[in-house]
Amino acid sequence: MGCRDVHAATVLAFLSGTASVAGLLAAVLLPNWRQMRLYTFNKNERNVTVYTGLWIKCARIDGSRDCVIYDPQWYTAVDQLDLRVLQFALPLSMFTAVSALFLCLIGMCNTAFVSSVPNVKLAKCLVNSAGCHLVAGLLFLLACAICLTPSVWVIFYNNYLNRKYEPVFSFDISVFIAIASAGGLFFTSVLLFLWYCACKSLPSPFWQPLYLHAPSMHSYASQPYSARSRLSAIEIDIPVVTHTS
C-alpha cells in the first residue's frame, strides 16, 4: 500500500462518503417516508394516498401526479414520534459526515502536497494525514449510527401504527435510501480504518495520529558514526605521575 501517497483506498472512501451524504440529503428532502392509503367504496371516486415526509405532506389521487393537498407547514405539526426524531437525527448525521469529509480531504491534501519532513516549529500543533483519516473514520461511524438507528425504527413504528389504527400505513423509499446511505457511511469508515491499520506499521512517526513532541531531523535520517565516537563517551583521562630522582 502506497501510504506516503494518496492511495486508492482514501480516494474511494472520499467518493463513498460523498455519495452517502448525497443520499442522506435526498432522504431528508423527499416526502416519501410514510404512505397512508385511503380506500373508498364509491365507484365514482378514487382512492387517495397521503405521502408523508419530514417537512411536507402531500395527498394524491390514484392516477394523478399532482398533490391535491399540499402542506408545507407539516414539519411544525408532526404528530408521529419517529419522524420527529428523524428531523433532528438526519441533519445531525449529515453535519457529522460532512465534517468527516472535510477531514478526509485535508488528510489527502496533506499527503499529496506536504513535504516528507514536517516543520519542527509547527510539529507540536500539527495533525498529520493519519490523524485526519483516523478521526474521519470515527466521525463516519458516528454518522452511520445516528442515521441508521431512527431509520430502522421507522419500520417498527410503522407496524405499531398499523396495529393501533388500521393497516393502511407503509414505509416508503426514503427509508431504504437512508439505510443504504448509513451502509455507505459504514463502508467509508471501514476503508479509512483499513488504510490506517495497514500504514501505521511503518516505523515512521508520520502514522501517529498526533505528534507528541517536536521531532528532530535525526528521527528521520540516522547519521553514521565511527567506533571512535562510540568509545568517546566512556574514555577517562588518567593522570600520569612521574618520580624524579
For 170, the enclosing helix (H) or strand (E) is strand 169-171
The Cα–Cα gap between 12 and 8 comes to 6
pLDDT digits (tens, 9 = 90+) for 213-230: 444 444 444 444 444 444
Length of the chain measured in residues: 245
- Specify the DSSP element, H or E, that contains 38: strand 34-38
pLDDT tens sequence across 43-72: 667 788 888 888 888 888 877 777 778 888
In the predicted model, is pLDDT for residue 97 greater than 90?
yes
pLDDT of residue 24: 94
pLDDT at 150 over 80: yes
Q: Indicate the pTM of the whole model.
A: 0.73
Asked whether the beta carbons of 43 and 149 are under 8 A apart, the reply is: no
Residues 2-22: b if buried by 16+ CB within 10 A, e if exposed: ebeebbebbeebbebbbbbbe
Dist CA 87 CA 85 (whole Å) = 5
Residue 91 has pLDDT above 90, yes or no: yes
Min mean pLDDT across 116-125, 145-154, 188-197 is at: 116-125
Residue 145 has pLDDT above 90, yes or no: yes
Question: What pLDDT sits at residue 121?
Answer: 46
Smallest Cα–Cα separation from 25: which of 145, 178, 152? 178
194, 3 Cβ separation under 8 angstroms:
no
Question: What pLDDT is stored for residue 239 in this prediction?
Answer: 52
CA angle 124, 128, 132 (to 5 degrees): 125
- 119 pLDDT higher than 60: no
Instruction: Report whether pLDDT(19) > 70.
Output: yes
The continuous run of DSSP H or E covering 71 comes out as strand 69-71
Mean pLDDT confidence for 114-139 = 64
∠ Cα 126 129 133 (to 5°): 120
pLDDT higher than 60, residue 242 = no
- Contact by Cβ (8 Å): 147, 93: yes
As a whole number, mean pLDDT of residues 5-27 equals 87
Q: Give the DSSP H/E element, type plus range, for residue 32.
A: none
Yes or no: is domain 6-112+122-199 CATH 1.20.140.150? yes
Instruction: Give pLDDT, residue 124.
Output: 45
Mean per-residue pLDDT of the chain: 76
Asked whether the beta carbons of 172 and 35 are under 8 A apart, the reply is: yes
